[in-house]
């Protein structure tokens, strides 16, 4: 067991200062299990790897990209349903790609690329994006989701749930080359067979059927479709796509090229009348590529296309994806723009103009301006799949306030007489509180005595100022003490004068002995 865990860890080692968990909500959307993803900002211990292989919940999620923006594995996350895993395996082997496929927790496919040594995350992403298009799954998620990581800002990237949760009994198993389920040891053999060096990775090209026409200067989707065969239901859109390309490349002879393409590469050519109609449409107007329409979207490779002479060029929409929220009083967001990680405030995320300005400042790029409805839909889609990182309570402004309040009450000294409250000390006494309980008699209120700290607000505020805490106004502090800590305000006689005091239930750490002096309490305001 120890050796298997060690081998598994070496294969999927990634970011070591945080890991992911997934909490299912029992719902299902389009065949994919619903739930919420969380990042735990703690070291990835050996015990977590052991628990994962043993099948203990929650399963382990690892961020593939490391602090130096390198990785040794990446993944094409295919969650299109229904899914035939054997067909995908056959495509992988026909294309002679060094990939290993596993079943995901939702029954989809995680198609892994492994390298023998760390490579730049950009190289890993570029290759996987290209190959996803070759496999017909261009719209799928690619891990790592970033080409760099903002470690100095606390960024953690995005995690992927690992296979073999439960070892050999796992439903998240790998697949052999014949499409059958693989044991964990068989998976190790697949890794040894298909893991590749950086040098070889740069040379790998998908093995395609020979195409008569050279389209190296055009959209990669056309080359892929011509190699794989153009489906009968995609003839119109494919011919449209070729018309845009042909008009760019052969402005004087594009009509003839379109007719030639129709008869040479369509299994069932479109009628001449339909081709003529499309020619007349394109004669009147210069159209743009339909990258989001079938069948092109399934074999799209935008980064490659952008680099082609007659590719998409400036028409390329920036890839905006993978929203991460650092949950705190003032939430911080991280977002991928073409794989580059940017940090945003809530206002910058909400306001598209501020978002574009942030992109310009951080990554020297400005995404295309969308109309208001499109931007709203984009945000809604991002928020539906947001990764939430719950920040420790002690670093939030409420947590810091409570810590300083505790320090004030514990360290300023205990008042032996009510007059000493004026010196910045806290006075401790028992006080009646109303609590709600629920038992066989139903819900009811009872009165209980609790040890209580009394102190002056101005002394606390002076203490907070000394410790450079400026996040709460007096009103906010009073509301927090009353609503969150169960306290309130009252009036007391101090040195013969009426003073306003705050109070809250408190148990002193330094002593179990509390004095309850004689005090005159007036009606609270």
Residue 122 near residue 75, CB atoms below 8 Å? no
Q: Residue 219 — φ and ψ, nearest 5°?
A: -55, 130
Whole-number pLDDT of residue 387: 78
Residue 241 belongs to domain spanning: 220-315
Dist CA 417 CA 425 (whole Å) = 10
Last residue of a domain, one of 354, 369, 391: 391
Look at residue 194 and tell me if it is in a domain. yes
For strand 70-78 and strand 100-103, is the pairing parallel, antiparallel, or unpaired? unpaired
Residues 170 and 224 in one domain: no
Last residue of a domain, one of 315, 346, 363: 315
Dist CA 60 CA 226 (whole Å) = 41
Per residue of the chain (525 residues), what is the pLDDT tens digit?
789 999 999 999 999 999 998 766 555 555 555 566 778 888 999 999 999 999 998 899 999 999 999 999 999 999 887 789 999 999 999 999 999 999 998 899 999 999 999 999 999 999 998 898 888 887 788 999 989 888 877 788 889 999 999 999 999 999 999 999 999 999 999 999 999 999 999 999 887 665 545 677 888 888 888 877 787 778 898 899 999 999 999 999 899 889 888 888 887 888 888 889 999 999 988 888 888 788 887 787 777 777 788 887 755 567 788 888 887 767 889 898 887 889 899 999 999 999 999 999 988 888 888 888 889 988 998 998 887 776 666 667 888 899 899 999 988 889 999 899 999 999 999 998 888 888 777 888 888 889 999 999 999 999 999 988 888 888 889 999 998 899 999 998 988 899 999 999 987 665 444 444 444 444 333
Look at residue 521 and tell me if it is in a domain. no
Residue 249 near residue 310, CB atoms below 8 Å? yes
Residues 175 and 283 in one domain: no
Task: Sort 341 into a burial class: Cβ within 10 Å, 0-12 / 13-18 / 19+.
Answer: buried
Whole-number pLDDT of residue 506: 87
Secondary structure element (H or E) that encloses residue 78, with its range: strand 70-78
Look at residue 178 and tell me if it is in a domain. yes
Residues 6+ apart with CB under 8 A from 480: 398, 401, 472
Residues 182 and 232 in one domain: no
Residues 76 and 125 in one domain: yes
Our measurement of the distance from residue 41's CA atom to the centroid of its chain's CA atoms, rounded to an integer in Å, reads 14
Residues 302 and 352 in one domain: no
Look at residue 408 and tell me if it is in a domain. yes
Look at residue 32 and tell me if it is in a domain. yes
Residues 352 and 409 in one domain: no
Look at residue 477 and tell me if it is in a domain. yes
Residues 228 and 87 in one domain: no
Q: What string of H, E and C letters represents the secondary structure of 119-130?
A: EEHHHHHHHHHH
Domain count, the chain: 4
Last residue of a domain, one of 265, 281, 315: 315
Dist CA 375 CA 392 (whole Å) = 32
Listed in order, strand segments (DSSP E) in 262-401 are: 320-327, 332-337, 340-345, 387-390
Please count the CA atoms within 13 angstroms of the CA of 52 that sit on its side-chain side: 26
Q: What string of H, E and C letters represents the secondary structure of 506-525?
A: CCCCCCCCCCCCCCCECCCC
Residues 36 and 140 in one domain: yes
Residues 10 and 145 in one domain: yes
Look at residue 440 and tell me if it is in a domain. yes
Closest of 150, 9, 134, 152 to residue 73, by C-alpha: 9
Look at residue 211 and tell me if it is in a domain. no
Residues 99 and 80 in one domain: yes
Whole-number pLDDT of residue 524: 36
Q: What is the three-class DSSP state of 26?
A: strand
Residues 411 and 352 in one domain: no
Residues 138 and 192 in one domain: yes
CATH number at residue 92: 3.90.920
């Amino acid at each position: 067991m120890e050796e298997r865990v060690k081998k598994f860890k070496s294969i999927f080692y990634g970011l070591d200062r945080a890991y992911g968990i997934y909490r299912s909500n029992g719902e299902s959307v389009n065949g994919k299990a619903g739930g919420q993803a969380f990042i735990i900002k703690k070291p990835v211990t050996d015990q977590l790897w052991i628990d994962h292989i043993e099948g203990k919940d929650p399963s382990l999620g690892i961020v593939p990209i490391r602090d130096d923006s390198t990785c040794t594995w990446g993944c094409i996350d295919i969650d299109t349903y229904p899914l035939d895993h054997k067909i995908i395996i056959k495509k992988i082997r026909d294309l002679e790609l060094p990939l290993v496929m596993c079943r995901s927790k939702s029954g989809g496919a995680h198609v892994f690329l492994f390298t023998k040594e760390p490579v730049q995350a950009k190289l890993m992403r570029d290759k996987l994006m290209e190959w996803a298009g070759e496999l017909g799954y261009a719209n799928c998620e690619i891990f790592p989701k970033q080409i760099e990581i903002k470690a100095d800002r606390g960024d953690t990237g995005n995690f992927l749930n690992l296979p073999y949760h439960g070892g050999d009994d796992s439903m998240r198993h790998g697949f052999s080359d014949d499409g059958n389920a693989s044991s964990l040891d068989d998976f190790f053999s697949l890794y040894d067979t298909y893991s590749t060096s950086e040098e070889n990775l740069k040379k790998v090209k998908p093995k395609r059927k020979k195409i008569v026409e050279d389209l190296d200067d055009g959209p990669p989707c056309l080359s892929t479709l011509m190699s794989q065969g153009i489906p009968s239901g995609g003839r119109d859109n494919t011919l449209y796509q070729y018309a845009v390309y042909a008009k760019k490349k052969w402005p004087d002879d594009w009509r003839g090229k379109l007719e030639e393409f129709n008869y040479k590469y369509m299994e069932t050519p479109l009628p001449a009348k339909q081709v003529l109609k499309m020619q007349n449409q394109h004669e009147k107007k210069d159209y743009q590529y339909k990258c989001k329409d079938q069948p092109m979207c399934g074999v799209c490779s935008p980064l490659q296309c952008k680099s082609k002479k007659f590719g998409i060029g400036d028409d390329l929409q920036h890839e905006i994806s993978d929203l991460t929220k650092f949950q705190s009083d003032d939430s911080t967001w991280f977002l991928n723009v073409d794989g580059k990680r940017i940090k945003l405030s809530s206002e910058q995320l909400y306001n598209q103009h501020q978002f574009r300005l942030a992109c310009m400042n951080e990554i020297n790029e400005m995404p295309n301006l969308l109309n208001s409805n499109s931007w709203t839909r984009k945000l809604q889609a991002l928020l539906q799949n947001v990764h939430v990182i719950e920040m420790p309570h002690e670093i939030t402004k409420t947590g810091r306030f409570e810590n300083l309040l505790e320090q004030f009450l514990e360290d300023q000294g205990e008042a032996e007489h009510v007059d000493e409250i004026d010196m910045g000390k806290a006075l401790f006494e028992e006080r009646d509180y109303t609590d709600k309980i629920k038992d066989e008699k139903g819900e009811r209120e009872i009165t209980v005595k609790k040890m209580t700290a009394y102190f002056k607000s101005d002394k606390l505020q002076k203490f907070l100022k000394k410790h450079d805490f400026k996040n709460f106004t007096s009103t906010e502090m009073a509301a927090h003490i009353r609503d969150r800590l169960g306290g309130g305000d009252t009036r007391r006689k101090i040195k013969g004068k009426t003073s306003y005091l705050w109070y809250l239930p408190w148990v002193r750490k330094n002593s179990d002995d509390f004095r309850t002096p004689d005090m005159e309490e007036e009606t609270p305001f």
